[in-house]
Amino acid sequence: MSGIKGKDRPNILIVMTEHQQGRTVDPDCPCRMPNVKDRIAGEGLRFELGYTPTALCSPARASFFTGLYPSVHGMYNNYHSMPVIHGGLFPGVKLFSENLKKAGYNLSFIGKWHVSGEKGPADYGWSIPKAQTPWDGGPLGFPKPGSRLRRYREPRKDLKRYAVVRRNGWPDYIIYGTRPGKPEDMMDFKRGKIAAEEIRRLSKKSEPWIIYVGLTEIHDPYIVVEPYASMYDPEDVPLPENYYDPLEDKPAIYRRMRRQLWDQLSEEQIREAIAYYWGLCTMNDDVVGMLLDALEDAGVEDNTLVLFTADHGDQVGGHGLFLKGVLPFEESYRIPMVVRWPHVIKRSSTCSEFVTLCDFAPTFCEIAGAEPLNPCHGRSLLPIFEGSVPEDWPKSFYGQFLGTEYYYTQRIVRDHRYKYVFNAFDFDELYDLQKDPYEMKNLAFDSEYEDVKRRLIEEMWRWAEKTDDIIFNSYPSVALVPYGPQSVKKRSDANPK
């Protein structure tokens, strides 16, 4: 579809959830999401290897909107956290929305922002419906020196059937629970209704539109109303395949998290937590159904590209852990990515290439006939939508984790078989995903895999150069990657193509 004409430019509907594992939209997952699995993936395309560039909210969302890795867009960690590194994006960084607005699109932003603490969506071309809640659609600000000590919120008292993780000197943490009310009381249902009205309103105009819907309630704690709270029987929920991983061959911080926090939960509670999590996923699927119905009501379903994705995943019991952060596992990094675009994308198709959130910004610019983003680390997915994969499409995935409250530094590179993890704070990890898909056995110190490790490290350095990463400091106490960046050049010189 080279050279999309103005009248052929599609509307674009984006639904981004939080903390959602890619597995939840796999056909064999018991989590029921018929609108996403049947009405989007079944009528469109499911990416089997869709990844977030980083498993943290603000930097992941910034990568989605800019097409850049955190090292270049500047949002290293969550801007509302107390040790924030940068409160906003680096000067000059552009979002795809700015270019689409110039190209004549109408823009509407509903739900969570979390891209910059200095500027909101309106500063980047988006319109914000008046019905939004004050928390939605704008910057939250960011902590500054002298204002970081704050009171902690105590757990809510109105929950039924919940599980508590006790913490000395910290507020106890409720991991899941049933709250009172009806589905319409949930914030994501309210956002869905606003978005449905925006679809109907903007579809009456002659210009194409793009609507972003940021849903948040899959995020921990997994608290939801009936009927979703009891939709899944915990006795029917299996424990994750790697739940019994002792973590002895992995960095100590993983074991500390599990022993200090999550080992307090019984196996029955782990199953209940997963059941609640799936209930929230099904609830969000009902919101998606509301939006798909609105497209049909407005008569624009045939000329609307629909994307369903998430900012990152959640361990949800995988390896006996919960939440996200310095956890390089597939549960945290592989995310849902399904796209429907009638008459362009073949129905019920799948793609096994590596795709990241960075790839959507250049895609939207191309199909909208907008000016390309420059710089941009992503690639337009339009050829894949049309059924062909460019020969030079990336053969690996690169994950860039620049820290949370304790500034852990972690990098991930994986190909179709192996995954290597560089941990600056502890020893590294290497997994054979073909033999060990649940990442149970760390091969980083197995001499038989030294060549594999070195090859992946060289690939990591190529990605680091492409993304202008910050890990090139050669000072001895920080230059801890087993093979430095010069090894790439030496090997290529010794083995010229």
Q: Is the pLDDT of residue 276 over 70?
A: yes
Least confident of 5-14, 238-247, 415-424: 5-14
Beta strands in 335-484 (DSSP E): 337-340, 349-356, 397-401, 410-414, 418-423, 429-432
Q: Residue 157 — pLDDT band, cuts 50, 70, 90? A: confident
Three-state SS at 419: strand
Q: Kindly state whether residue 228 falls inside one of the protein's structural domains.
A: no
Q: Kindly state whether residue 428 falls inside one of the protein's structural domains.
A: yes
Q: Kindly state whether residue 92 falls inside one of the protein's structural domains.
A: yes
Q: Give tens-digit pLDDT for 68-87.
A: 999 999 999 888 777 778 88
List all residues 6 or more positions away from 310 whose beta carbon is below 8 Å from its beta carbon. 16, 17, 18, 19, 20, 52, 218, 335, 336
Q: Is the pLDDT of residue 493 over 60?
A: no
| Per-residue pLDDT, 145 | 66
List all residues 6 or more positions away from 299 whose beta carbon is below 8 Å from its beta carbon. 203
* Same domain, residue pair 449 and 370: no
Q: Tell me the residue type at 453.
A: K
* Same domain, residue pair 191 and 107: yes
Q: Give tens-digit pLDDT for 187-218.
A: 999 999 999 999 999 999 999 999 999 999 99
H or E element, residue 70: helix 70-73
- If one counts every other C-beta atom within 10 angstroms of the C-beta of residue 299, the result is 9
**% of the chain with per-residue pLDDT over 70:** 93
Q: Is the pLDDT of residue 332 over 70?
A: yes
3-state SS track over 132-150: CCCCCCCCCCCCCCCCCCC
Predicted model pTM:
0.95
Q: Is the pLDDT of residue 496 over 70?
A: no
| Domains in the chain, number | 2
Q: Give tens-digit pLDDT for 397-454.
A: 999 999 876 778 899 999 999 999 999 999 999 999 999 999 999 999 999 999 999 9
* Same domain, residue pair 341 and 286: yes
Average pLDDT value for residue range 33-46:
98
Report the distance separating Cα 217 and Cα 181, nearest Å. Answer: 15
Three-state SS at 452: helix
Three-state SS at 307: strand
Average pLDDT value for residue range 37-56:
98
* Same domain, residue pair 420 and 467: yes
* Same domain, residue pair 59 and 94: yes
Q: Residue 494 — pLDDT band, cuts 50, 70, 90? A: low
Average pLDDT value for residue range 464-469:
97
CATH number, residue 481: 3.30.1120.10
* Same domain, residue pair 297 and 365: yes
- Token couple for 217: 């309630």
Q: Give tens-digit pLDDT for 288-311.
A: 999 999 999 999 999 999 999 999
Q: Kindly state whether residue 102 falls inside one of the protein's structural domains.
A: yes
Q: Residue 163 — pLDDT band, cuts 50, 70, 90? A: very high
Average pLDDT value for residue range 243-252:
98
Cis peptide leading into residue 375 (ω within 30°):
yes
* Same domain, residue pair 201 and 315: yes
* Same domain, residue pair 84 and 210: yes
With 0-12 / 13-18 / 19 or more C-beta atoms within 10 angstroms meaning exposed / middle / buried, residue 427 is middle
CATH number, residue 368: 3.40.720.10
Average pLDDT value for residue range 7-20:
94
* Same domain, residue pair 435 and 476: yes
Q: Kindly state whether residue 119 falls inside one of the protein's structural domains.
A: yes
Q: Give tens-digit pLDDT for 361-391.
A: 999 999 999 999 999 999 999 999 999 999 9
Report the distance separating Cα 78 and Cα 215, nearest Å. Answer: 17
| Per-residue pLDDT, 1 | 41
Q: b/e per residue, 232-263, with b = 16+ CB within 10 A? A: bebeebeebebbebebeebbebbbebbeebbe
* Same domain, residue pair 374 and 486: no
* Same domain, residue pair 442 and 306: no
Q: Kindly state whether residue 487 falls inside one of the protein's structural domains.
A: yes
Q: Residue 3 — pLDDT band, cuts 50, 70, 90? A: very low
| Measured CA distances, 111 to 141, 186, 311, 346, 384 (Å) | 17, 13, 13, 30, 29
Report the distance separating Cα 140 and Cα 80, nearest Å. Answer: 7
| Per-residue pLDDT, 497 | 39
| Per-residue pLDDT, 107 | 98
* Same domain, residue pair 194 and 304: yes
Report the distance separating Cα 59 and Cα 402, nearest Å. Answer: 9
**% of the chain with per-residue pLDDT over 90:** 85
Q: What is the mean pLDDT of the chain?
A: 93
Q: Kindly state whether residue 445 falls inside one of the protein's structural domains.
A: yes
Q: Kindly state whether residue 109 falls inside one of the protein's structural domains.
A: yes
Side by side, the strands of the sheet bearing 160-165 are 160-165, 173-178, 222-224
Average pLDDT value for residue range 308-318:
98
Which residue segment(s) compose the domain that 478 sits in? 409-494
CB 250 within 8 Å of CB 436:
no
Q: Could you say which of 384, 400, 430 is where a domain stops?
A: 384
